[in-house]
Chain A
Amino acid sequence: MLASLTALFMDGGAAAAQRLQVDWGVQAIPSLTETNVVPGDRSLGELRIVQPMGMLDAATLGDRLRLVATLDFEKYTIAHGELAPGDWGEGFEDRRHPHTLVHQLMLVGPDLFGRWLRPVRVFAAAGKGFVPFGSDDPMSRPVVRYPVNHHLSQILERAVGLAGIRAGPITLEGALFDGDEPVSPGSWPATGRFGDSWATRLTLAPVTGLEAQASYAFVHSPENRPGAGPDDAKTSVSARWQRSRWYGLVEWAHSRTAGGAFVFRSVLAEGEVAVAGQHPYLRFEQSDRPEEERLFASPFRTRRPLFENAILGITRWKVLTAGDAMEVWSHWRVRLAPYVEASYLGIARIGGGVFDPQIQYGRTRGYQLSVGARLVAGMRMPRAGRYDRDVIQKMEMP
């Protein structure tokens, strides 16, 4: 066992066997963050280890079968969330929630029929993981700070069964899953709710490096685990460019909750370029957020389980983030990349409701600063959210 692990490490983390190929990786980002957009009109700084991950990708049967597993240890490092004004979801506001320990555990058939159906390729996957909806998981993108639109543009950590077909530049996916979002970092999808929600995504990849998608998801009662809450109808359109030194993403997302009683919109654009060991990046987003009743015990937490379908209003967040990651050390598949990141945040009320950012934060504009380092051993953080063979075989971010 030890010899095998040593061999794995020494040969760069990838072990090739006649019938089994295994790759692995670990990641952690120590991050010091400060912001003046804090409930109660104050500043707050925190040092946390965010996005601590363990990743395993195993392929067998001539790559007819893959196991894609990701453990997320945020349960232990950011149990009370990551300081990130504007971020929300799963009972958190202004802190990005910790993801579940078993972030992804998917059994994937990336090319079920091999050459029998060429040039058409059929793939399928099942387990706990990403729903074919929207853009890539923010963890697999250059900006460390999570976007406000995470819950508008991705659906993850669900019990999901999906199938897809690829013909030339076109990929069509469909999935059934459970609508309930995680209720804690240790939670599993609710028993009995598999299949109450569905999604479909159409992807077009006309030239190498360019990928555009449009997707739709119906999500039943995401915020009420027993299923009594309102439903979401979610739409996402995005285009992604990754070629040579360049990466870029533009996306538009739209969520209608409770038959349109609440509508949340988002636009986002981000890009990165690799220049002489530097990876400067930029992101702009404008995203809407529901404002919910916060707890007496913590202004960063909201009432869970939900008790009724009222919200306090909707805020629109404009966030401009600029940063740079520096490749300072990379040996034996171990990589150290310090980064510095700064965000400008603007907050506005839209529509009615009692929520007022001026009262909540004492301001309607502010900043967030972060410095830290991305520590990676083994495989880099893959593109998360796609199980098509052509994607998961190339799943490394620039």
Chain B
Amino acid sequence: MMRWVWAAGSCIVVALAACAGDSGSVTQVQSPPPADVVLVDTIPVAPNYGIHDQYLRDGLDIVCAWNTGILIYDVGNGIRGGSPANPVLVGSTTTVGGEAHNTWWFHNPVTNEAKYLFVGQEGPGSVGSSSSGDVHVLDVSDLTNPTEVATFHRNGSGTHNFWMDEPNQILYAAYYNGGVVAIDVSGTLSGDISSRMIDTVTFGAGNTYTWGVQLYRGSLYAIDMLSGLWQLHDSAGVLSVAAGGNNQTERYGSDLWVANGYAYTGTWGFFDRTAGVVGNALKIWQLDGTGAPTLVDSIITPDILTVSDVEVTDDNKVLMFSTEGGPNSGFWFYRLTEPAHPTFLAKYLVGNGIHTATFSRIGGKLYAFGAKDPASPAQFILDVTQLDQ
């Protein structure tokens, strides 16, 4: 089933078009009142390429601001009395080489420490074939004074998005043309930790160009821009292909989120893989008993070029994705009452687009944090509590 969604005044029209599992029906749903999504604040970011991603944990908002570096805001932690409506900068630093793109704050249950912050550097690359950039490790024991202590480097490829198996102290990194990498991050991290790579895997009928990874029910899921969604076996960081893959050919893949027994993947379309077919699809994959993915539905958002980030709330009720490259760029929210067939909830459009978006619960409310593209890059903070009822 493939649905086309477009705005018609205050009304959202959902049409069901021909596709696998298509019911052929047409429905209309009313757009929710604007009060359901409330902009509570924006944080301007210096235009050194601006903000690419954010990581929310323990009431801290860790902003990846390219050459401006890593900015840590209190948005509810209490360390500086900040809140989503009044973020207060706690600390900042620049990483070696700049180009700070994404991050993961490691809460180590073995040592009960939250000492290390992993930062992905996105260096120059050619989409689909080459990449560069290291994993930088910051010691954030003192949040007011983050300090770079270690670096992970691979020749011939560069890192992109992370996921962690914290109990087993393994960092998984999508590595574009390098596929997926598993890194042992136990113990003390210092200097060059490139020798800590446990395993790496590449896949696909052609080249590999992996955007993101997520651990879910014992499998590692990887979304590859060229070859689609893969299920990988993971045994303490030793990786092998389990299922999926070579299952997307008309568009390039982008981000992923796995929840409810389903995987939701975005598509990238700043260049058409098929003439006239842009990256305006969010794909919905059902995972069978073994975790293997099967495509069951897609959401098409008109007037965009890319679905750039995907996330589901921790209660599995709301799906959010960010969009770029067109007049419908911004935040999009769908209800997951029926996880295989999300229903439209709300949109919050932002000129130039939202590159990444992240949920966080703070003070009993649900917020969406988003990285607004240049010009005038900024972080947008939305109160979306009403969408989660």
Contact = CB atoms under 8 A, between A and B. Distances in A.
Partners in one complex: yes
Interface of A: 41, 224-230, 257-258, 261-262, 291, 293-296, 303, 305-314, 351-356, 359-360, 362
Given A308-B101, A309-B124, 4 more contacts: A226-B47, A312-B127, A313-B128, A352-B128
A360 B275 CA distance: 7
A354 B270 CA distance: 10
B contacts with A: majority SS: loop
A294 B327 CA distance: 14
Given A228-B67, A296-B304, A41 B129 contact: no
Nearest to A292: B270
Contacts of B99: 308-309
Interface stretch (B48-56, B139-147, B182-190, B338-346): B48-56
B125 interface: yes
Contacts of A293: 270-271, 325
Contact of B49 (A294, A308, A352): A308
Given A228-B67, A296-B327, A313 B129 contact: yes
A53 B132 CA distance: 44
B175 interface: no
Interface in B190-247: 207
A313 B374 contact: no
Interface of B: 46-50, 52, 66-67, 98-99, 101, 122-132, 207, 252, 270-275, 303-305, 325-327, 355, 373-375
A171 B374 CA distance: 43
B343 to A, nearest CB: 26
B266 to A, nearest CB: 16
Given A359-B275, A362-B275, A306 B49 contact: yes
B373 A307 contact: yes
Contacts of A307: 49-50, 355, 373-374
Most buried by A among B130, B131, B355: B130
29 contacts: A41-B275, A229-B49, A261-B123, A261-B124, A261-B125, A262-B124, A291-B271, A295-B325, A296-B325, A296-B327, A305-B47, A305-B375, A306-B49, A307-B355, A308-B49, A308-B52, A310-B126, A310-B127, A311-B125, A312-B127, A314-B126, A352-B128, A352-B130, A353-B127, A353-B130, A354-B127, A354-B252, A359-B275, A360-B272
A90 to B, nearest CB: 15
Contacts of B66: 228, 308
Contact of B207 (A303, A312, A352): A352
A316 to B, nearest CB: 14
Contacts of B48: 224, 226-228
A32 B93 CA distance: 54
Nearest to B305: A296
Nearest to B329: A296
A362 B272 CA distance: 12
B28 to A, nearest CB: 26
A313 B124 CA distance: 12
Contacts of A224: 48-49
A311 B126 contact: yes
Nearest to B355: A307
Q: Which 8 A-B pairs have the closest CB atoms?
A: A352-B129, A293-B270, A261-B124, A228-B48, A296-B326, A354-B128, A258-B124, A353-B126
Nearest to B303: A296
A352 B156 CA distance: 13
A307 B376 CA distance: 11
Contacts of B275: 41, 359, 362
A313 B252 CA distance: 15
A308 B127 contact: no
B129 A351 contact: yes
A258 B125 CA distance: 10
A359 B270 CA distance: 13
A310 B271 contact: no
A312 B123 CA distance: 14
A35 B124 CA distance: 33
Contacts of B272: 359-360
